A and B are shown apart, each in its own frame.
Chain A
């Protein structure tokens, strides 16, 4: 029994060391790691001019998204629909989700919703606008199912729609700042 508790204790210690070490390691970095938030997105060309044809993001697995209050960045899925791009945040009603996806709560509570998306090395200044309109959500759900759930099946699309409607997943449009 004592040995078992010692092993459990060592495991808990290594988990704590992991969380603290990787949080500190990435905190001020130019971009996030796979899981841990990074700092301000600094490198990469800053896009100017008209928006590109966002359909190229269909070939992009994840993007880096910087939010401004507080300044931090994370790696996130991206979906293009009807010429606009969207990001999502899942697990919003679970305890772990609240810890993991704190950025979405920060955006929702902040007065400034400015963000910077770095996609394939190019930075785009955007503004996060939460989307709940089912007419918009359905297109994003289709793209999300196609890219990240193995295919655009009616079941997968309906599941994403339900998650958004129930508040388990939040969707944000990466809108132009001038909008």
Chain B
């Protein structure tokens, strides 16, 4: 993938991801659950 295409994908993905976290509660809860599992497993 070319650098310009990659940067567009990054920008678009980040925007969609952030909007999902802000406005789709089940999505943000699922992401938080994954983070919590990661922390609980790796924070020993």
Contact = CB atoms under 8 A, between A and B. Distances in A.
Contacts of B35: 18, 35
Contacts, number: 57
Interface residues of B, number: 21
From DSSP, what is the main secondary structure of chain B's interface residues?
helix
A9 B36 CA distance: 22
A10 B21 contact: no
B4 interface: no
Nearest to A97: B43
Interface in B23-44: 28-29, 31-33, 35-36, 39, 42-44
B44 A17 contact: no
Interface string A4-23: 00100110011001100110
From DSSP, what is the main secondary structure of chain A's interface residues?
helix
A100 interface: yes
Given A6-B6, A18-B21, A25-B21, A96 B13 contact: no
Contact of A21 (B10, B22, B33, B39): B22
Nearest to A25: B22
A10 B13 contact: yes
Interface of A: 2-3, 6, 9-10, 13-14, 17-18, 21-22, 25, 33-36, 90-91, 94, 96-97, 100
Interface of B: 1, 6, 9-10, 13-14, 17-18, 21-22, 28-29, 31-33, 35-36, 39, 42-44
Which are the 10 A-B pairs with shortest beta-carbon distances?
A96-B43, A91-B43, A34-B32, A35-B32, A21-B21, A21-B18, A17-B14, A97-B43, A35-B36, A94-B43
